[in-house]
Chains A and B, each alone.
Chain A
Amino acid sequence: MEREAVFRTRGLTKVYSMGEVQVHALRGIDIELYAGELVVLLGASGSGKSTLVNILGGLDTATAGTVFYCGMDLTQADDRELTEYRRRHVGFVFQFYNLIPSLTARENVAIVTEIAQNPITPEQALDLVGLSDRKDSFPAQLSGGQQQRVAIARAIAKQPGVLLCDEPTGALDSKTGVIVLKALERVNRELRTTTVIITHNAVQAEMADRIIYLSDGQVSDVRGNDHKKEARELTW
């Protein structure tokens, strides 16, 4: 059966100007991402993983090439359309959580559910990541792993079409990292959300349906994972 592609990129290119230097972050990426799959983007620092995910999520614009999300050309979208796209379809999890310090865990989730079309409640979302008992804590009162789980709850509460996670365990120790990955795994399984996880940790790739290797701004390999592991089996 032909699988339904959620994302399709063709010749995706991104060039940053850093002062007088031009940095080629992406050099012609052609990939597809399919509904419901969990994809790990693997690559060294500077390989272009974050740039790719940011463009997929409508947080950044491409220099050249096209990105289609369910038939919508993101490279042609203006700011208003990108905002609408992010609001309706995309959930983000960032390496540094980016919680709003002045809001509690529940309120950090609510800030998204309040503008979403078909959200689950903040309580349900926090329940999914195992934080029902810390709903009223402020970010400063939570550990790094807990903060990241709040960030995941915030990302999935709107029931996004795609969940984009940029180094979600990058700032965490391995034990806490596994807890976070378990939360992502559960969301992917239970909500059937297409999930993209960026990492430079090859071990985490073992929980993926597919692994896309990036190096130097190009796709160097795409592999299916025949021996998919559960997050709790991972150690690094």
Chain B
Amino acid sequence: MRALDRKMLRDLWGMRGQALAIVFVILSGVATYVSMTSVMDSLQQTLRTYYAEYGFADGFATVRRAPELLLERIREIPGINAVETRVVSRVNLEIEGFGEPVSGTIVSVPEGEQPVLNRLFIREGRLVQPGRENEVVLNEPFAEAHGLRSGDRIAAIMNGRYRDLNIVGIGLSPEFLMQIDPASIFPDPMRYGVMWMGRSGLEAAYDMDGAFNDIAFTLAPGADIHEVIDRLDRILRPYGGQGAFGREDQQSHFFITEEFRQLERTATILPVIFLGVAAFLLNIVISRLISLQREQIAVLKAFGYSTLDVGVHYGKLVLLIVIMGAAAGTLLGCWLGRQLGDLYLRYYRFPYLDFALEPSVMVTASALTIGAALIGVAQAVGRAVKLPPAEAMRPAPPATFRATLVERLGLQRFFSQPTRMIMRDLERRPLKALLTILGISSSCAILIMGLFFYDSFDYVIHVQFGLAQREDMTVTFTDPTSTAAVFELKSLPGVIHAEPFRTVPVELRHGHLSFQTGIEGIPRDPHLRRLIDTDLKPVTIPPEGLLITERLARILDVRPGDKVIVEVQEGGRYTSSIPVAGITRQFVGVAAYMDMEAVNRLAGLGQAVSGAFLMIDRAFEQEITDSLTERPRVAGIAFQDRAIRAFRDTIAQTMLTYTFVLSLFAGVITFGVVYNSARIMLSERDRELASLRVLGFTKAEVRYILLGELAVMILLSIPLGLVLGALASAGFARSLQTDMYQLPFVLGKGTLVQASLIVLGASAASAMLVSLRLNRLDLIGVLKTRE
């Protein structure tokens, strides 16, 4: 082995502590990037193949009751490829040992064979057999939530009649990747489930012989979905068509697209920031580390090594470190990616996960870190060789210290000699100090980026469920129902207050922009379901006009006073033009609100309600539940606390796992940076400090000079880091807005304190490690050699 390579290996061993800290910084950056990117790629790829393999439909339509004969006419619509009619119905379920109401959706499938579209993945058991009207296949998350297996039984109230159903299989469908109750926002597999039943059995149960109420279709290549939807709507309208819609409006797909979009942003923005910060820190650390070798570089140059030789030598040293970090980071990233992938698999319910790790991901991560490190090497070597070797070998000329600002102001008498040394050193090399401060603050900033989610979600829950949606439970009816039903609910024992609402499915249009949603009519002076404005103050419901959420206002590009076209998608299709009366703040969901009477006028069915919000006495919870499940007109019951729990679970399983990993890595990066900064400061000044010891300074005084300077920089870094972190997080939160929910940017004091403490903790640990070295300063050595 060449002597120069041997030097490299021994130098590496000599700085193993620092090298290890650098390895950790790189590892954190690369692992974050690789894991998040690979998870995202895997999920996207899985989604694509799953949809393709199991024939997820391009469009859907719901109709009240249409004869099967209509199928021929639908098939003839130009642009339609495959079409399948179905019977789909809401169903109330009873599960033994589970006292709460459970609702579900039951979807017909051909008997003894797979449907043409939205085919089932059978995890266990089999499909339903012909002629067996009581057989069902259960959606896996629902079955898992209740521990149901094929062979078990489940009770259902179908069309008011009690039925005992045999579970013959457990499966999954691309149509219900996310199994969400249409009345709620988040999946809750304990209280809502999907199942599949033979077509004839369902037809019989719902009086749908020779008829259907739901259609799934795929498009021929190149077909225009809007044209197909128009034609389909025209055919279905006489039969109570409720508007065909494309895949992008299908609930499960919509939800998953939104989630993926958000995930993708997180998976792109955060890791890139992480990797960027790691690369930046790497650059600073490496460049300073090599600057310390100025004399050795000069010696090598003096003996005829070229600048390139020297650069390659240090390049190799740094590459070894970086490659160790990048390799370990990639391995950890892959492992973490798989773990996260499994986690998402449990959440998103794919039958399998195509784990994808694009080589380009690894190449990008490695190239970025290696590039940053090599630039650091080039900068440092470049600086070192800029001086003629003779000068570089000579002790650096006494630095030009000036009196600091403090001294020029005549304040020095307030400071001890060591304190003045600290101030002068900081003032003499402001750029070096600035880079260190910037490095530590950027690690503090990524800590904030990892931590602020918790605050934002707490805020969402506080606003959404504490200020706006204050009901204990929500009851929805199968159809618009007479207002008398609300009085009936009020009279139930344990119900303290009942507040009706009326929801009408609509399409809102403004110019070329449109959005499908429901207008929710609420009483003029609501007690339970309140709307709040952007200042979190309750909004009075105006007698006319729409109140819409901020997000919807942005989607439709409307301001208060603008008019939107409202097309009612229930019963006959009425279109009217309604002014926007105000904007409300709502983080979860996109919605439009109106005075209940105005909504009823719009729908034209007289005074009707779609359901009611209840405030109840908790002691009567079970009794109320029991009496409501028995009523055939009750389509669903939802408890608010469970909605909150479901919301938290949803968040916990995705974002918070992510952010936990991020915070962890941010912590590691912080430590790596602070430790390296402290070590380099020690190397740069060890002779000076040893001389001071020789002159009679105590260990404590010398420690004060070194650590005092570090402390000043850290204390400056923290506020800067908090500000940088807040700015970056605010931008990040804005980029994460989806139609499903918006993440307000909220930064609690606790998070600021937490981030500061992590930086301080890393600093304290580094300071301790450096102090140990400070105690071992070679006092004789400094007398023997120059300077």
User: Which B-chain residue is minimally distant from A112 (CB atoms)?
Assistant: B303
Interface size band for A: 35 or more
Whether the Cβ atoms of B3 and A111 lie closer than 8 Å is: yes
Residues on A with C-beta less than 8 A from B388 are 54, 59-61
Query: Contact mask A65-93 → B, CB, 8 Å, 1/0?
Result: 00000000000000110011111101010
Whether the Cβ atoms of A100 and B296 lie closer than 8 Å is: yes
User: Which A-chain residue is minimally distant from B11 (CB atoms)?
Assistant: A102
Give the residue among B300, B389, B400 with the most A Cβ atoms within 10 A.
B389
Whether the Cβ atoms of B307 and A102 lie closer than 8 Å is: no
Question: In chain B between 204 and 231, which residues have their CB closer than 8 angstroms to a CB of chain A?
Answer: none
Query: CA separation between A147 and B390, bound complex, in Å?
Result: 20
Residues on A with C-beta less than 8 A from B393 are 59, 94, 98
Q: How far is the CB of A16 from chain B (nearest CB, A)?
A: 9
Interface size on B, residues (CB 8 A): 32
Asked whether any CB of chain A lies closer than 8 Å to the CB of B162, the reply is no
Asked whether any CB of chain A lies closer than 8 Å to the CB of B304, the reply is yes
Residues on A with C-beta less than 8 A from B306 are 80, 83-84, 87
Whether the Cβ atoms of A92 and B3 lie closer than 8 Å is: no
Residues on A with C-beta less than 8 A from B391 are 60
Residues on B with C-beta less than 8 A from A34 are none
Question: In chain A between 144 and 165, which residues have their CB closer than 8 angstroms to a CB of chain B?
Answer: 144, 154
Q: How far is the CB of B316 from chain A (nearest CB, A)?
A: 14
Q: How far is the CB of A132 from chain B (nearest CB, A)?
A: 18
Q: Would A54 and B390 be within 8 Å (CB), given that A83-B301, A111-B3 are in contact?
A: yes
Whether the Cβ atoms of B397 and A18 lie closer than 8 Å is: yes
Chain B contact residues: over half helix, strand or loop, or mixed?
helix
User: Which A-chain residue is minimally distant from B14 (CB atoms)?
Assistant: A102
User: Which B-chain residue is minimally distant from A55 (CB atoms)?
Assistant: B390
Partner among B299, B389, B397 whose Cβ is within 8 Å of the Cβ of A100 = B299
Whether the Cβ atoms of B304 and A88 lie closer than 8 Å is: yes
Whether the Cβ atoms of B304 and A98 lie closer than 8 Å is: no
Asked whether any CB of chain A lies closer than 8 Å to the CB of B6, the reply is yes
Question: In chain A between 7 and 63, which residues have their CB closer than 8 angstroms to a CB of chain B?
Answer: 18-19, 50-51, 54, 57, 59-61
Asked whether any CB of chain A lies closer than 8 Å to the CB of B4, the reply is yes
Residues on A with C-beta less than 8 A from B397 are 18
Residues on B with C-beta less than 8 A from A61 are 388
Q: How far is the CB of B523 from chain A (nearest CB, A)?
A: 82
Asked whether any CB of chain B lies closer than 8 Å to the CB of A110, the reply is yes
Residues on A with C-beta less than 8 A from B301 are 59, 83, 86
Partner among A86, A103, A144 whose Cβ is within 8 Å of the Cβ of B303 = A86
Q: Would A96 and B10 be within 8 Å (CB), given that A86-B303, A114-B2 are in contact?
A: no
Query: Contact mask A87-123 → B, CB, 8 Å, 1/0?
Result: 1101010111010101100011011101110000000
Residues on A with C-beta less than 8 A from B413 are none
Query: CA separation between A102 and B6, bound complex, in Å?
Result: 8
Q: Would A86 and B302 be within 8 Å (CB), given that A18-B397, A100-B7 are in contact?
A: yes
Asked whether any CB of chain A lies closer than 8 Å to the CB of B161, the reply is no
Query: Contact mask B3-29 → A, CB, 8 Å, 1/0?
Result: 110110011001000000000000000
Query: CA separation between A110 and B299, bound complex, in Å?
Result: 14
Query: CA separation between A111 and B300, bound complex, in Å?
Result: 8
Whether the Cβ atoms of B307 and A107 lie closer than 8 Å is: no
Query: CA separation between A60 and B302, bound complex, in Å?
Result: 10
Asked whether any CB of chain A lies closer than 8 Å to the CB of B512, the reply is no
Q: Would A115 and B7 be within 8 Å (CB), given that A60-B390, A94-B393, A144-B784 are in contact?
A: no
Whether the Cβ atoms of A59 and B784 lie closer than 8 Å is: no
Q: Would A102 and B295 be within 8 Å (CB), given that A59-B389, A92-B302, A114-B2 are in contact?
A: no
Query: CA separation between A60 and B393, bound complex, in Å?
Result: 11
Whether the Cβ atoms of A103 and B302 lie closer than 8 Å is: no
Whether the Cβ atoms of B390 and A98 lie closer than 8 Å is: no
Q: How far is the CB of B418 from chain A (nearest CB, A)?
A: 26
Residues on A with C-beta less than 8 A from B2 are 110, 114
Asked whether any CB of chain A lies closer than 8 Å to the CB of B360, the reply is no
User: Which B-chain residue is minimally distant from A108 (CB atoms)?
Assistant: B3
Q: Would A59 and B302 be within 8 Å (CB), given that A18-B397, A102-B10, A103-B10 are in contact?
A: yes
Question: In chain A between 188 and 225, which residues have their CB closer than 8 angstroms to a CB of chain B?
Answer: none
Q: How far is the CB of A82 from chain B (nearest CB, A)?
A: 9
Whether the Cβ atoms of A83 and B3 lie closer than 8 Å is: no
Whether the Cβ atoms of B304 and A83 lie closer than 8 Å is: yes
Partner among B4, B390, B400 whose Cβ is within 8 Å of the Cβ of A111 = B4
Partner among B6, B304, B385, B785 whose Cβ is within 8 Å of the Cβ of A87 = B304
Query: CA separation between A103 and B309, bound complex, in Å?
Result: 17
Q: Would A115 and B389 be within 8 Å (CB), given that A98-B295, A100-B7, A110-B3 are in contact?
A: no
Residues on A with C-beta less than 8 A from B305 are 83, 87, 115
Residues on B with C-beta less than 8 A from A57 are 302, 390
Asked whether any CB of chain A lies closer than 8 Å to the CB of B776, the reply is no
User: Which B-chain residue is minimally distant from A170 (CB atoms)?
Assistant: B786
Whether the Cβ atoms of A96 and B307 lie closer than 8 Å is: no
Query: CA separation between A87 and B307, bound complex, in Å?
Result: 12
Whether the Cβ atoms of A79 and B6 lie closer than 8 Å is: no
Partner among B3, B400, B786 whose Cβ is within 8 Å of the Cβ of A103 = B3
User: Which A-chain residue is minimally distant from B8 (CB atoms)?
Assistant: A102
Q: How far is the CB of A199 from chain B (nearest CB, A)?
A: 17
Residues on A with C-beta less than 8 A from B309 are 115
User: Which A-chain residue is minimally distant from B309 (CB atoms)?
Assistant: A115
Query: Contact mask B264-305 → A, CB, 8 Å, 1/0?
Result: 000000000000000000000000000000011011111111
Q: How far is the CB of B683 from chain A (nearest CB, A)?
A: 13
Q: Would A84 and B304 be within 8 Å (CB), given that A100-B7, A111-B4 are in contact?
A: yes
Residues on A with C-beta less than 8 A from B390 are 50-51, 54, 57, 59-60
Residues on A with C-beta less than 8 A from B389 are 59-60
Residues on B with C-beta less than 8 A from A98 are 295, 298-299, 302, 393
Residues on B with C-beta less than 8 A from A95 are 786
Q: How far is the CB of B327 from chain A (nearest CB, A)?
A: 25
Query: CA separation between A118 and B307, bound complex, in Å?
Result: 22
Residues on B with C-beta less than 8 A from A115 are 303-305, 309
User: Which B-chain residue is minimally distant from A19 (CB atoms)?
Assistant: B400
Query: Contact mask B742-757 → A, CB, 8 Å, 1/0?
Result: 0000000000000000
Query: CA separation between A154 and B304, bound complex, in Å?
Result: 12
Q: Would A107 and B295 be within 8 Å (CB), given that A59-B388, A94-B393 are in contact?
A: no
Query: CA separation between A54 and B2, bound complex, in Å?
Result: 28
Residues on A with C-beta less than 8 A from B302 are 57, 59, 86, 92, 98
Query: CA separation between A86 and B390, bound complex, in Å?
Result: 12
User: Which A-chain residue is minimally distant from B778 (CB atoms)?
Assistant: A140
Whether the Cβ atoms of A114 and B3 lie closer than 8 Å is: yes
Residues on A with C-beta less than 8 A from B295 are 98
Q: How far is the CB of B690 from chain A (nearest CB, A)?
A: 16
User: Which A-chain residue is minimally distant from B305 (CB atoms)?
Assistant: A115
13 CB-based A-B contacts, threshold 8 Å: A51-B390, A59-B389, A60-B390, A60-B391, A84-B304, A85-B304, A86-B304, A92-B302, A96-B786, A100-B299, A107-B6, A115-B305, A116-B304
- 7 nearest CB pairs, A to B: A87-B304, A54-B390, A59-B390, A102-B10, A110-B3, A86-B304, A60-B390
